[in-house]
Every structure is written in structure tokens, then in C-alpha cells.
Structure 1
Amino acid sequence: MSCGVFAGEARLYNVEQIREIEARALAHQSEITLMQKAGLATAGLAAKICVNTQYPILILAGPGNNGGDAYEAGYQLSRQGFKAVCLMCGAFEKYSPDAQAALQRARNAGLEFADLHTLLNTRSQNWSLIIDGLFGIGLKRAPEADIARLINFMNRLASEKAIPVLAIDVPSGLNADTGQPVSHDSVLIQASHTITFISNKPGLHTGSGKDYAGKITVNTLDISDDFFPECRSHLNERTSLLRILKPRKQNSHKGSFGDVIVLGGAKGMAGAAILAARAAQYAGAGRIYCSMLAEAPAYDSLHPEIMFRQAGEISLAEATVVIGPGLGTSNTAHALLRSAIQTAQALVIDADALNLIAADSKLQALLHDRSTPCMLTPHPLEAARLLNKSVAEIQNKRLHATLELARKFNAVVILKGSGSIICDADGKLYINTTGNPALASGGTGDVLAGAAGALLAQLSNSMDAARIATWVHGHAADVLVKNGTGPIGLTASELLPQIRLHINQLAYQTSAGA
């Protein structure tokens, strides 16, 4: 029996699109159903994960087709010689015909069935693996009563006994589109692995999805590409970034790689502007100016290559301007921002500059009407201010909020956070695959803004610059943590050499750091 391939998949489709693809495929499916293929794929991955076969595999089968996939997986595991115990959490008569057939095959194969209340009161039982087939992508409300108790129980048991948990399609309780719980009070299965079918889902890679999905495997169930619509959302992965930055020609000079002006650094916040300027240096800009609202230092003793100016003393017309790090919200800051929006050759807007725009409809109109490259780098609170929404509303619809911002301001937007989202005004969207909690510290946003400005100066393409900046910024943190620096206590400055390294690796197409 064929079951497709276990492979990474950069395309992202939402639940509505997945349903349409599935409907087309079902109309043309062979004698081997999609549910059988899903069950076989789940069993195959379960066998690889289940290294300790001393104990049985526990299968949680819910009331819908996700439960049918679970029964099919149990049937396949039994055929392969694994001892499996199934907890049936749905009524037979309410299952689809395919799910009923899967359940019957599991029973005929001798699969053992457990009792929910007995299971919830047996803490001493150990399992080689727990398979979560409770709820799939169609869940609309939070699991309740005994099922909620079951999810909490399984999470505790898996944590206490180090039991791997394999979620089928999506961890139960997680919204596959948003990456958030299906409701504010929803419990979620904590998976160590997720096998997701037909295509990858956005919610597995942003918001809480990155905390609950674990290692993700995509299986297309052998569905032909002819059944897939045009894809506008993808993962922001290393392979897709190769060859955007070109190796530098020998006949180059500092003017070949653009000027970056970092505009910010009000009194008490000079460090933010200096961090952004240093990041622009490490990310490859030809010349870097740090234009300060506070009294500008004579030079940066760590990086004397950076040139300092007082704010307002340098023309913005021929440079890429990074405005916002340490800018403040004074009248002077407002005037400088207005000037930057009107005159800068290219623009990266961060931090306080975003807050000033959120409070001024005239600045918003000026920004929308710009015809030259522009990038916004808000965190969720800044995004909420820009859209006059709550942070919860932004986080509950991260993809939609990023698209709304991009269209409102005619810019490429990086909505920062777990699974940062990059989107342009045409609706082309990427979810970043790198980064970790080490980036949740002061100054890392300034570093991202500076790196984005340097890349924008070199590429003149806002989307390419945003994608590379976001990826290398997160990957720098990933490598540092992997090598023992952080995540607790990692500083923004420590990212800089790693950012330089990974930008060079992308430009020169090496395999290192993959």
C-alpha cells in the first residue's frame, strides 16, 4: 500500500483550502482511501518514534475522521506486531463510513480497547507512545468535560514519564489556521511529533503552534498536485533564500552596497540606535551612519567604522533609513519621521516610529502613498496600536493581521513573535522557521531592524530583504543556543557575528549551517 512520502513541505494551506483539496481527491480516490493512507503513514512514523517497545502504544481516537485515522493506524500497528491499546471517544453510529470501516478493521485485528474512567485513574500505567487522534483541523470549540480531563492527564503523564506523543494532523485543541487554542480556555495536547496530511498548516508554525506541535512531518497522501490551488503562503526556509544575495564581485567598493542611516537614539536610549547600526554593519551595508537625537558620541569604540551625526544633519534622500530604535515620541521625533517617510530612498520602520504612526492618521496616509521600498517590523503590541485592536485580536489572527497591516500601509511587514510572519501588500506571505525564546530580550528587535536595513540597501527588494533578515536573525539565536549560549541571558550583541556568518553562507551557497 502506498502512503505518500514523509517530507518537509514549504507550502501552507488553510483549513478551507485543505477541505477543497480533500474533496477533489476523494472524488478521484482509488480503492485505497485517504484514511487508509493516513493510517499507514501514522503507523509508519509511530514505529520510528517508538524506540522502547517494552510498553504498549496508546491510541486516543476521537469522534470524527481524525479518530478514523487513529483506528487505521492502530490496525496497521497491530499488523506490524506492535501491542496497541485504543481509547474510543466517539459513538460508532456517528462515524463516517470510512471511519466505521477503520474501526472494524482495528477490532478484527484484535486491538485492545480501554475504558476512559479506568484510564484516568491508572497513573502507574506506562506507554511506549501516545497517539493523539482526538480532534483534527475541524475543531471549533474547546474540548470539554472528560475529554479535557483526558488531555490534561495525558500531558502530565507524558511529561512525567518522558513518553513521546504523536499528534495526527494537528495537536488536539490547536487551531490549524491561527496557531492559537481553538478558544481562550482550550486545553491542548502537548505533542513531541505531529504528522500532518495533504499539506502543511500555518498554525503549526506560528503562535502557540511552535510550542505544541513538536517535530512536524508532512504527508501528501499521494494527492496529485493538480488538485492543489495556487499557493500564496509558504515557510520561510533556508533553501528558498539561497542565490538571492549574490557573491560580491572583485570590482566592488563601499558604494556598491548602499548607505544605511539609523535614525533614533533619544536621550537614555542611544544603545538601541547603536545596536541597529552595528547590525547594519555586520549585515553588509557599505556605509553606516547613526543619526542621534541625543548628543551623538564622537565614535563607537567597539565599531569605529560607524559614522555619527546629529539628527537632522544628514540627507535621507540617497539612503536606506532605519527609523525607530530609541527614537522616542517627542515632537522632534515626529518631525524626523515625517521627513523620513517623505524623502528616504528606502525605509525600515520600527519601535517608537510605529507608535507615532499609530497615533497620527496623516503619517499613515503619507506612508501608504510612498512608492519606494518600505518595511515595518512591529511586535504584537505595536501591531495592535497600528490596527486599533487588542493584542489578543492580533495574536488570534496573526496571518490576517500581518496582511491587513501590509495593505493598510503599502509595505512589507514582519510581525514578530513565535513564527514571525512576513507579508507584502499583494498577499504573498511567509512564516519564518527560525528563532527561539532567546530573542525575547531587549535589543534583539533593534538588531533585526538594522540587519533588515542593510539587506534592503543591498537588494532593493523589501520582501527578499525581510525574509533573509528574519531568517538569519532567528538562525543566529538557534545556533547560539545549540552551542550553549542561552536561551536565558543571551544578549542582542551576541547575535551579530552569527548574523554575518549566515548571510555569507546564503550569499555563497555553502551547505554549512543548514
Structure 2
Amino acid sequence: MYLYTAQEMRDLDRYTIESMGMPGVALMENAGGACARTLMKRFPEAKRVVVLAGSGNNGGDGFVIARYLSTAGWNVSVWRSGPAEKMSPETRAFHEVCRNMGLAVKPFEPGREGELTTDLGQADVAVDALLGTGVRGELREPVRRIVQTLNRSRPPFLLSVDVPSGVNTDTGEVAGEAVHADLTVTFAAPKWCHYLLPGAKACGEVEVAPIGIPQAAVERHPPRTRINGPALWEDHLLPRSRWSHKGTHGHLLVLGGSRGMLGAAALSGMAALRTGAGMVTLGVPQGQEIPLSAKVTEALVWGWPEGDDRCFTRATPPDWEKRLSGFDAVAVGPGLGRFDGETEWLEDLLFSIPCPLVLDADALNGLAGNPSILKKRGKPTVLTPHPGEMARLTGISVKEVESSRHRIALELAEKTGAAVVLKGTYTVIAFPDGRQVVNTTGTPALAKAGSGDVLTGVLGALLARGLPVESAIPLGVHLHGLAGRLAVTASDHSVLASDVIEKIGDALHQAR
């Protein structure tokens, strides 16, 4: 499934109408009908509803909804936000249908707030069809006053059409007043605001309704962003060949596990093995091999020359180049720690590793001073920051990162030439060529130390197995989120990172 910006959706609508001959009134009829059917399904017995309709196409959807519900026996009250002469032609046509049916269509004017409040107070359901995908900045009058009245006198259930009025479609920004829906029915495909805060909270539950846009039109105007799903990776989840062996499925090196943080490296290694890597080597500072071997008996353990406090040192092992030839992917960061010379150490690694590389945790912090150096690496690289690490990489605040997750992730991908996995409720994956993927399989259960280490191992394993970056990353993020969901058996408070690892196999099975 694709995800659209406001402009991409306008272009798709325009092409569907002008080039494919689909009448705009047909799309409006389908959109309003979909919303009405959703309400009738949720409320099998007729209810009292107030429909708030604007003068644009969103308002036309509202008039269609009012017609459908009235025909189904609902008690319908309609309020419009502007004069009829300012309506789009399609909206005006459906406005006239409602009037001809005898529905009371009341124009909202200053001083009628009390009447609208009374209607809303008596209603079971309200429909927000005031504004569509073109909102930028604060609401203008009279819509602002209508929304204020709605927020003060909110019925038990509120449906927003496409996008809640007051929410910026492309950023999720809420500049002032905004409708806070229980359900948003959006058309053809999701929009960015359905996944970006604070707009995503205002949307409530989101349901996508087809409205008859032909697939040929979608193929002619594909957006740059997709919702994560099997189409991106299903060709790489085939059963193993009966002739395969451990060398067939890749060898991953994980560098991390400094003193006091061995658990992070162990989690990454176990996650990689569960994801199907044929072999995993855990590279840890010398002296940490014995305790780590007791934790992870299935992985190989290798001691790196240690520095102070059993951390890494810039000195490379004498057999480093020889060993490198045996690895198919490398992950650096789980339990790495901070140490003198870490930036130089990391830069040496970047240009000596000839295979795909995943950077997480303190490996990202070591890059914070000069992330653009990655552009010179010339090999597939994946960055997996949480918002705090992203803030350090980009030199901005966590608040700024969270206010524009998709834009910040894409800018870093373009700056570094690396694929960026910005972790969060809806993890955003950004590729240097401008493509993006939004993941929807996460769960609050993953808000636990060690979850990021598990993701690093999953991604490293898929890259070691030879999956291309554009498939490995969406698949890995999907599996990680799905395994987190499957790990919730009693409470999402009590899930451990090790529980998530145990469910990777089930997630792989379900993903096929």
C-alpha cells in the first residue's frame, strides 16, 4: 500500500478525472458512500447525526454521507461552513440533492453557536467534513469557530472525513484548533498525518476506503512512500533449499559488548541466529569472551584488543583483514560503549569493511560529529537511531526530530548515502534516493532496553543472508515489530527483549 502527500493525492485525483475520464462526482459519491456504510456498520440501529460540511470537496463527501444516512432512516442535521456560491461544482450538486430531499442544511453564521451546540448535544454521532487535505496553519473563520463548538459539545462518536479538520496532511502539525476524531476514514491510501504526531492522535482509528481510482492511475502516479508490507520483501522469504548449509546463509559479525554491556551483544547475536544467519561471531574486548560464551553458546566469540576498563581500543587485531573476508555483513554498536579515540576507530572500520554494515547505539554517537563521512564508504550502510540518537546525529533537539520524523530521516539518508531506520511508534525507513517506508507492526511492548539490539541483529542477519538493502530493512523492521506483538501474552509491560527473540521464528512464519 502506498502513502500519499496532499499534492500526490491531488495529482492522482486530477489524472483520474482528466486523463482517465472518471467523473469527479463519481469519486465523491464513492467517498461519501464509504463513510456512510462504515457508520451504518458500526451503528446498526439508526442514530441522530450532525454533519458538518465545508465548501470544498470534503464538504461534498459530507453531503453524500447525509443523503445516505437520511435514506437509511437516521435523523440527520447538516451544517455548512460557507455560502453555497463558494462551493466546488461537485459539492454544490450534492448540496442541492440534500436540499431537494428536504434535509435541513443550516448555514453557520456568527451568533448561531448556541443552536449548533444544541444539535451536537442531542446527537449520537458527528461527521467532520469541513476541510480536506489542503490545511496549512491555523483554521480560519468560520471553520475555527465551528471546530471550537464541536470540541466543546462533542457527541459520543466523531468521524472525520479523510483528515481531521485542523491537521496538516503532510506533517501532522496542529497549529491551533483541530478536530479529534474517534475514526478517520481516508480515501484510496493513508496520508502522512495518520502516522505523525500530534496529528496521528487526532485521527483516532484510521480506516482506508477505496473510492474507485483505477490501478492504472496509481501506477501512473506512484508516490515515494509505501506502507511496509509483503510486496517489498516476499520474494526473499522462500523455504530453504534442502542442499543449503551454514555457509549458504551468511556470516554476521557483531562488534560490541564492552564491560557491563555484554547483554546487548548477546541479544543481537541471538536475534541474528533466530533470523536465519548461518553463523554469527561476536567481537568483544579481550577478557569478555568467557562470560559472553556462557550467555550465547551458539555464536562464535572473538576477543578484540582491549583498552581501559575492558572497552574497545583503536588498535586492530593482527588478523583483522583476514577475518573480514569471512564475514557477509557487520553490525557495530550493541553495548559498544564510549572510549578514547572512538571516532577515529569507527572511521577506520567504515573504510575497511567491504560488506553491508549496520550502525546502532554508541556507533551512531561516535558518528555524531561527522555523519556525512559515510557518503565516502561506497558500501551498503544502515543507521538505526532512536530519536535521541537522531538528535545527536543531526544537531537538533529530540522535539524537533519528533515533529518532522519523515523529513529528518530523509535528509540524513540523503546526506550520508545510508539507509536510515528512525525507530518509533511508526518506524520510518528512508533511502538515499528519496524513497520511504512506514512500518505499522510495532507495539508499546518494544519500549524496553534491549529491543534496539534485537533489531540490529535481525537486520544484520538479513543482510548477511544476501538480501538487498531495499528488501532487508523493511522485512527486518516488520519482523521485529511483529515479534514484539507476538511476545505479548499477558501484559505489554512485562515483555523482555529475549521474549521478542523467541518470537522471531513465529514472525517469519506469519510473514510468508
C-alpha deviation, 1:140, in angstroms: 0.7
Aligned with residue 428 of structure 1, among 431, 435, 447: 435
Q: 1:368-387 residue pairs with structure 2 within 5 A?
A: 368-387=375-394
Q: In structure 2, give the amino acid aligned to 1:390.
A: S
- Please tell me whether residue 492 in structure 1 is matched to residue 497 in structure 2: yes
C-alpha deviation, 1:449, in angstroms: 0.9
Residues 406 and 424, structure 1, Cα contact 8 Å, conserved in 2 = yes
* C-alpha RMSD of matched pairs (Å): 2.7
Match of 1:196 in 2: 186
Please give the alpha-carbon distance, in whole angstroms, between the structure 2 residues aligned to 1:31 and 1:257. Answer: 52
Match of 2:51 in 1: 59
Residues 148 and 187, structure 1, Cα contact 8 Å, conserved in 2 = yes
Residues 193 and 215, structure 1, Cα contact 8 Å, conserved in 2 = yes
Q: Secondary structure at the match of 1:459?
A: coil
Instruction: List structure 1 runs of 4+ shifted beyond 6 angstroms.
Output: none
C-alpha deviation, 1:432, in angstroms: 1.0
Q: Secondary structure at the match of 1:400?
A: helix
Q: Which runs of 5+ in 1 are unaligned?
A: 1-9, 510-514
Query: What TM-score, normalized to structure 2?
Result: 0.85
Match of 2:309 in 1: none
Provide closer, same or farther for how the CA distance between residues 425 and 21 of structure 1 changes in structure 2, counting only shifts above 3 A: same
Number of corresponding residues:
482
Match of 2:28 in 1: 35
Residues 234-283 of structure 1, C-alpha deviation per residue, up to 9 Å, x if partnerless? 11014543231331122222222222222122333332222222211211
Q: 1:34-433 residue pairs with structure 2 within 5 A?
A: 34-53=27-46, 55-112=47-104, 116-120=113-117, 125-127=122-124, 129-143=125-139, 146-153=145-152, 157-158=155-156, 163=157, 165-178=158-171, 180-183=172-175, 186-208=176-198, 210-211=200-201, 212-223=203-214, 225-226=216-217, 228-238=220-230, 240-293=232-285, 295-298=287-290, 299-312=292-305, 313=317, 315-319=323-327, 320-344=329-353, 345-359=355-369, 361=370, 364-365=372-373, 367-433=374-440
Residues 282-335 of structure 1, C-alpha deviation per residue, up to 9 Å, x if partnerless? 111122222224841414445311233333546445322111122223225334
Q: Secondary structure at the match of 1:17?
A: helix
- Please tell me whether residue 439 in structure 1 is matched to residue 430 in structure 2: no
Query: What TM-score, normalized to structure 1?
Result: 0.85
Q: Which moved more, 1:384-393 or 1:39-48?
A: 384-393
Please give the alpha-carbon distance, in whole angstroms, between the structure 1 residues aligned to 2:502 and 2:153. Answer: 42
Residues 5 and 192, structure 2, Cα contact 8 Å, conserved in 1 = yes
Aligned with residue 464 of structure 1, among 466, 471, 483: 471
Q: In structure 2, give the amino acid aligned to 1:318.
A: G
Residues 25 and 90, structure 2, Cα contact 8 Å, conserved in 1 = no
Please give the alpha-carbon distance, in whole angstroms, between the structure 2 residues aligned to 1:52 and 1:301. Answer: 63
- Please tell me whether residue 20 in structure 1 is matched to residue 26 in structure 2: no
Please give the alpha-carbon distance, in whole angstroms, between the structure 2 residues aligned to 1:31 and 1:284. Answer: 50
Residues 310-369 of structure 1, C-alpha deviation per residue, up to 9 Å, x if partnerless? 33546445322111122223225334422321222221011111121111x3x632x212
Q: In structure 1, give the amino acid aligned to 2:4.
A: Y
Identity of aligned residues (%): 32
